[in-house]
């Protein structure tokens, strides 16, 4: 071992220029590899592979008879659709191919929502919801599947950071599993073939969150679209 070290030291002493060039290549190689790995983890592609046709599915939760969470005559299904339509606008402005599981107030089963995305071989699936609890509880959270893919977590984190910047009453974090059972997943996270997450954008039962939702709707939609753009 000592012998090898001595040889290396004497090589460095004799070839200072060569050593500097080698070190420079190592540093540049490390940086480039790091950037490539980060790009691959976020997008599922290498920087050298041509992007195929990317399709994003936005899923406004609930609809029809299934009104979702309620506060007086305010229904979660309507807020989800309002937001989804705005996100669609923002994505289309970026030239991103986007489809909504529903564009009107109709009932859709969870199976139908997943089948919709799977049959299109969509690249990303983002389900939009609003939460419900006592009136004192507020804030946004995002759920990812327990397979805990780096890309889903990264997408969820970026969306939540954007929502936080736009203005939410509390950042409740990115969560894994299902609200009442961490060993289960939200159906749309476990039955979609692509990277997915479920956004709970504030509590419909909180007047503060509802005011923020109405005032920041455009900024929320933009934040979600920006995060999606970073991950395709």
Q: Which is nearer to Zn ion, 96 or 143 (CB)?
A: 143
How many residues bind Zn ion (CB under 5 A)? The answer is 3
Q: What is the DSSP secondary-structure string of 9-54?
A: HHHHHH-HHHHHHHHHHHHHHHHHHHHHHHHHHHHSS-TTSPP---
Stretch that binds Zn ion, among 63-71, 95-103, 164-172, 184-192 (CB under 5 A): 63-71
Close Cβ partners of 163 (under 8 Å, ≥ 6 residues apart):
140, 171, 201, 220, 223, 224
Q: Which is nearer to Zn ion, 55 or 168 (CB)?
A: 168
What is the CB neighbour count within 10 angstroms for residue 152? 24
113 binds Zn ion (CB under 5 A): no
177 binds Zn ion (CB under 5 A): no
Strands 195-203 and 55-60: unpaired
129 binds Zn ion (CB under 5 A): yes
Stretch that binds Zn ion, among 67-75, 93-101, 144-152, 165-173 (CB under 5 A): 67-75
Note whether 192 and 127 are within 8 A (CB).
no
Stretch that binds Zn ion, among 30-38, 129-137, 141-149, 172-180 (CB under 5 A): 129-137
Strands 74-75 and 70-71: antiparallel
77 binds Zn ion (CB under 5 A): no
102 binds Zn ion (CB under 5 A): no
Provide the minimum distance between the beta carbon of 200 and Zn ion in the complex, in angstroms, as a whole number. 7
Q: Which is nearer to Zn ion, 113 or 231 (CB)?
A: 113
Burial class (CB in 10 A: 0-12, 13-18, 19+), 51: exposed
- Enter the tokens of residue 29: 């190689």
Provide the minimum distance between the beta carbon of 121 and Zn ion in the complex, in angstroms, as a whole number. 26
Stretch that binds Zn ion, among 14-22, 32-40, 88-96, 123-131 (CB under 5 A): 123-131
Single out the residue of 44, 55, 60, 61 in contact with Zn ion (rule: CB under 5 A): 61
Provide the minimum distance between the beta carbon of 48 and Zn ion in the complex, in angstroms, as a whole number. 40
Q: Which of residues 15-54 bind Zn ion (CB under 5 A)?
A: none
Single out the residue of 60, 68, 138, 202 in contact with Zn ion (rule: CB under 5 A): 68
HSE-up of residue 74 (Cα within 13 Å, Cβ side): 17
Query: Which parts of 96-223 are beta strand (E)?
Result: 97-100, 124-131, 140-144, 171-176, 195-203
Return residues touching Zn ion (CB under 5 A). Answer: 61, 68, 129
């Amino acid at each position: 071992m000592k012998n090898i070290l001595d040889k290396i030291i004497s090589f460095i002493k004799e070839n200072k220029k060569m050593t500097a060039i080698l070190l420079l290549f190592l540093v540049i190689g490390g940086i480039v590899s790091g950037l490539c790995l980060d790009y691959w983890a976020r997008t599922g592609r290498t920087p050298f592979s041509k992007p195929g046709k990317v399709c994003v599915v936005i899923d406004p939760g609930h609809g029809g008879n299934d009104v979702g969470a309620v506060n007086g005559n305010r229904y979660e299904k309507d807020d989800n659709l309002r937001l989804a339509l705005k996100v669609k606008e923002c994505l289309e402005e970026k030239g991103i191919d986007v489809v909504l599981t529903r564009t009107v107030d109709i009932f859709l089963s969870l199976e139908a929502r997943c089948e919709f995305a799977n049959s299109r071989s969509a690249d990303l699936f983002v389900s939009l919801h609003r939460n419900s609890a006592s009136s004192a509880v507020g804030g946004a959270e995002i759920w990812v599947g327990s397979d805990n893919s780096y890309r889903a977590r990264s997408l969820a984190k970026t969306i939540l950071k954007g929502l936080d910047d736009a203005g939410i009453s509390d950042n409740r974090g990115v969560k894994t599993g299902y609200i009442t059972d961490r060993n289960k997943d939200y159906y749309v996270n476990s039955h979609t073939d692509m990277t997915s997450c479920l956004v709970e954008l504030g509590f419909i039962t909180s007047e503060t969150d509802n005011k923020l939702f109405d005032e920041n709707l455009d900024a929320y939609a933009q934040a979600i679209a920006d995060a999606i753009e970073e991950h395709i």
